[in-house]
Amino acid sequence: MLKPQVVHKSQYTRKPFLAWHNYPPFVSGKCGRGTQVSFPFLWKPISENTTGRKNNIGVRRQRSAVKAVTAYDDVKVTNVKATVTVQITVASNLSNLSLSRGLDDVGDLLGKTLLLELVAAEVDPKTGLEKATIKGYAHRKGSKDEDVDYECEFQIPDDFGEIGAVLVENEHHTEMYLKKIVLDGFISGPVAAVCNSWVHSKYDNPQKRLFFTNKSYLPGNTPSGLVNYRKKELQILRGDGLGERKKSDRIYDYDVYNDLGDPDSDEDLARPVLGGKQLPYPRRCRTGRPRSKQDPLTESRSGDIYVPRDEAFSEVKSLTFSGKTLYSVVHALIPSLENIATDKDLGFPYFTAIEQLFNEGLPLPPHQTGGILGDIIPRLVKFVSDVEKNVLLFETPQLFDRDRFSWIRDVEFSRQTLAGLNPCSIKLVTEWPLKSKLDPEEYGPPDSALTTQVIEQEILGFTTVEEAIKQKKLFILDYHDLLMPYVKKVRELKGKTLYGSRTLFFLTPDNTLKTLAIELTRPPMDGKPQWKQVFKPSWVATDAWLWKLAKTHVLAHDSGYHQLVSHWLRTHCATEPYIIAANRQLSAMHPIYRLLHPHFRYTMEINALARGFLINANGIIETSFAPGKYSIELSSVAYDLEWRFDLQALPADLIHRGMAVEDPNSPHGLKLTIEDYPFANDGLILWDIIKEWVSDYVNHYYPDSKAIQSDEEIQEWWKEVRQVGHGDKKDEPWWPELKTPKDLIGILTIIIWITSGHHAAVNFGQYDFAGYFPNRPTIARNTMPNEDPSEERWQLFLNKPEIELLSCYPSQIQAATVMAILDVLSNHSPDEEYLGKEAEGAWAENPIINAAFERFNGKLKEFEGIIDARNADRNLKNRSGAGIVPYELLKPFSEPGVTAKGVPNSISI
């Protein structure tokens, strides 16, 4: 039996600097197989640089401390140095003058910053019990750039085995951001644990943090010593579903969207709960805030909306970029605009006044000089020294900069349905005549006014309607049935109007679309029968102006659908349940968690910001987009009618819309209905690249179906996504099964495509395509002048049709507000994480996965060259030509800023 040697005391322990017996020890190390020997924090163990046998304890005096080495007879130990990399945070610098900061500095000085506990991967083979952890305090060693390294030396008995995890206790009074832990000294090489996580102070929460090393394990392969740790960590992340969440919490739970309204402030700000039978919707993260006093179904609102701590923006993104910029637009810029506006409903008096936003700007109140606006939004707010005032001066959007008049042309209107902001709404016409599915008793006759006769007048010389449908040359943007139930409601709101709309296009021999006609419909209301009218391109002056106005309404409809469905619902909103379920059901050491995690970063934070400022009652969307206060309710209706998980796959979506058919002899196994369809052409290459990477990854960990079916974590994750996160659709038959590696590859490819490619396609071109808002107005404020017109209005239209168009556009306040928001949302952060650019730590350490990632990265670089070549091809008229903005929205990499290219890993803005 091994016996610990005697530790000799030193005279220097008689008068300690502090009453150390009231504090935890500086070093607490497990030596050999048993006894723990603790030393006061003023003592330091002698460093050893070799691995060998120790037979005694040496004590030597050195200055004011005693160095001691504890060892056991015939026990071989390995000397290991742990280096913990901590990111210097702005928050910690701001607390330099506080008492807690002073105590933390003393702790650093005395080497008492982080308590580390090394966890053995395997249980003791003799007892079958977990081995006791090996403990030690890490002390501050030095700093480099924005990081500080803390070090701790351990003596690890060889029978301790492999390190599986590290427990961390933060001895500071403030949280710390740990980037990684590296254990160096093993013969087999360093052992690392990538953290990238906030670690709370033990004074706020005594619970220690657990970080698994970079080795990934399926549940059935979990090392025996980590099984309980794996289960316990998931239990912590699930929480108990009770109480209000604190900022430092790391708890993932579900709730309905019941926090968009604010009835306690104003009864007009009450909003229905989204989620449930009446208004189905995906679930959001539970915050646990108290209920509203006026409406027990509504959660009260507060300035900060809880997200689990590690879901928050990085400090670069939060303090100098996205989060604070968005906040400053809402809380500083918009009030400033309202202060200078004599009339909030005032439109632009002439088109050159719109252009002045880019060359002269809007003056802001003098008190903003040098304040938050100039600091946070330097791209927009310019300081003009000669007049000593701030000016809101917008950058010229790329579309307007290349061609000032492109927005007027019908060919550009058509082109953008394939290569613009919302390229996923156009679909093939397969049934004729067009007919509404709405109740005719409530909404009027269902037959469309877009008749064969009307359309053949436009395609005369090309073909007939029957042949056009047969040859797959007739396409439609159809917002009729979705919008009609809201026409009467929206028209009751001040300064807003709405129609149901259909827009038809014809595919010409050069693969471009010709806009044929627009139908606008108003249901029976206010004692008047249904009104519907067809508008067509015309050389006749009056009809030409009516056509421009009809396009304005359709663009407002398309802008609303884009923002509420193609963007918010399909990416931000639908993804949050995947994130919550992954953190509740997949261990951090699960390979699929590690695959998905980069694609989930920051999404919950930007979603919380959206609930606070953008989609909330009287927020940016409601005040500036066509459906008004019914905007998010409308997205719930779209979720109910249209959203299917299986159709989020790009190939399935294209087939469903009639934009492609399966063809094993064509690239990607699909033949596109429109050969020059930039979103689909580029998207399918990116889809295949993602799918190949996912296939390599999944097939490495799951050699057969049995491995999938026996993985309880992945099964529970997929079950919770369907039954809870998207629980309002849990009984739908289209949910993919999860029984084989192929099933898992399909599910993961969809999620990664939506969070990366699809989101990039509908987000990062917002400013360049809609910054000059006549190209994509977000709202139409007036009805068509020929809808039950008064003599006075009709005459005004005939005399000044330009005034009619300008008054239909957003007001000056609405336009400037949306332009500022779109600029923020289109920006790439300086610390943007692009798809396939940098390998995660766990991937890089696995040779097979690392090789697959290198192939992934290489194909993305090749893809960039393909996009450049396509944009230079003069035969592809939907992406090249005089004044045309090249289609680069799916180009993988980008520099920071508004670039209209770059595919980030995740929905981070």
131-153 pLDDT per residue, tens: 999 999 999 988 887 889 999 99
Which of 309-318, 411-420, 897-906 is the least confident region?
309-318
Could you tell me how far CA 598 lies from the centroid of its own chain? 11
Is 789 buried (19+), middle (13-18) or exposed (0-12) by CB count in 10 A?
middle
Which of 328-342, 365-379, 436-450, 730-744 is the least confident region?
365-379
Angle at 236 between CA 113 and CA 167, to 5 degrees: 30
Average pLDDT over residues 479-491: 98
Average pLDDT over residues 799-809: 96
Spatial neighbors of 841 by CB under 8 A, at least 6 apart, are 180, 192, 194, 214
Condensed to tens digits (0 to 9), the pLDDT of residues 657-688 reads 999 999 999 999 999 999 999 999 999 999 99
pLDDT at site 344: 84
Mean pLDDT of the chain: 87
pLDDT at site 824: 87
**Active-site position among 139, 172, 200, 567:** 567
pLDDT at site 109: 55
Using pLDDT thresholds of 50, 70 and 90, give the confidence band for residue 363. Answer: confident
Question: Which residue type occupies 556?
Answer: A
For the question of residue 759 being annotated catalytic, the response is: yes
885 secondary structure, DSSP code: P
Using pLDDT thresholds of 50, 70 and 90, give the confidence band for residue 332. Answer: low
Average pLDDT over residues 718-726: 98
Distance CA 237, CA 583 (A): 7
773 pLDDT above the threshold of 60:
yes
Which of 98-112, 553-567, 712-726 is the least confident region?
98-112
Using pLDDT thresholds of 50, 70 and 90, give the confidence band for residue 361. Answer: confident
Question: Which residue type occupies 767?
Answer: Y
8 A C-beta contact, residue 20 and residue 38: no
Measure the CA dihedral 834/887/412/451, to 10°: -80
8 A C-beta contact, residue 316 and residue 830: yes
**Active-site position among 390, 583, 763, 846:** 763
For the question of residue 200 being annotated catalytic, the response is: no
Condensed to tens digits (0 to 9), the pLDDT of residues 743-754 reads 999 999 999 999
Distance CA 164, CA 222 (A): 10
59 pLDDT above the threshold of 90:
no
Is 740 buried (19+), middle (13-18) or exposed (0-12) by CB count in 10 A?
middle
pLDDT at site 327: 63
The Cβ of residue 712 has, within 10 Å, a number of other Cβ atoms equal to 12
Using pLDDT thresholds of 50, 70 and 90, give the confidence band for residue 462. Answer: confident
pLDDT at site 57: 32
> In angstroms, what is the C-alpha Rg of the chain?
31
For the question of residue 258 being annotated catalytic, the response is: no
pLDDT at site 386: 43
Condensed to tens digits (0 to 9), the pLDDT of residues 638-665 reads 999 999 999 999 999 999 999 999 999 9
**Active-site position among 572, 668, 726, 828:** 572
Question: Which residue type occupies 440?
Answer: P
Q: Which two tokens stand for residue 23?
A: 């504090």
21 pLDDT above the threshold of 50:
no
Spatial neighbors of 122 by CB under 8 A, at least 6 apart, are 131, 161, 162, 164, 223, 224, 225
Number of H helices, E strands in the chain: 32, 28
pLDDT at site 438: 98
**Active-site position among 480, 726, 759, 828:** 759
Q: In whole angstroms, how far apart are CA 401 and each of 414, 768, 769, 819?
A: 20, 9, 11, 16
283 pLDDT above the threshold of 70:
yes
Query: For residue 59, what are the β-bridge partners?
Result: 68
Question: Which residue type occupies 551?
Answer: K
Which of 88-97, 227-236, 589-598, 818-827 is the least confident region?
88-97
Separation of first and last alpha carbons in the chain? 62
The pair phi, psi for residue 267, each rounded to 5°, is -65, -25
Using pLDDT thresholds of 50, 70 and 90, give the confidence band for residue 865. Answer: very high
Distance CA 298, CA 498 (A): 28
Q: Which two tokens stand for residue 340?
A: 């200078």
Pairing of strands 660-662, 670-672: antiparallel
Between these two residues, 103 and 889, which has the higher pLDDT value? 889
Average pLDDT over residues 86-90: 78
The Cβ of residue 760 has, within 10 Å, a number of other Cβ atoms equal to 26
Average pLDDT over residues 366-383: 51
8 A C-beta contact, residue 601 and residue 833: yes
Distance CA 345, CA 630 (A): 20
Q: By 3-state DSSP, what share of the chain in percent is helix, strand and coil, each rounded to 5?
A: 40, 15, 40
Spatial neighbors of 656 by CB under 8 A, at least 6 apart, are 647
Average pLDDT over residues 776-790: 95
**Active-site position among 181, 518, 884, 909:** 909
482 pLDDT above the threshold of 70:
yes
Question: Closest by alpha carbon to 34, among 138, 99, 124?
Answer: 124
Pairing of strands 191-199, 209-212: unpaired
Q: Which two tokens stand for residue 161?
A: 């085995």
8 A C-beta contact, residue 78 and residue 185: yes
Distance CA 645, CA 314 (A): 30
pLDDT at site 22: 34
Condensed to tens digits (0 to 9), the pLDDT of residues 208-262 reads 999 999 999 999 999 999 999 999 999 999 999 999 999 889 999 999 999 999 9
Collapsed DSSP state (helix, strand, coil) of residue 619? coil
477 secondary structure, DSSP code: E
pLDDT at site 589: 97
8 A C-beta contact, residue 103 and residue 173: yes
Share of the chain above pLDDT 70, in %: 84
Spatial neighbors of 346 by CB under 8 A, at least 6 apart, are 811, 812, 813
Condensed to tens digits (0 to 9), the pLDDT of residues 185-208 reads 999 999 999 999 999 999 999 999
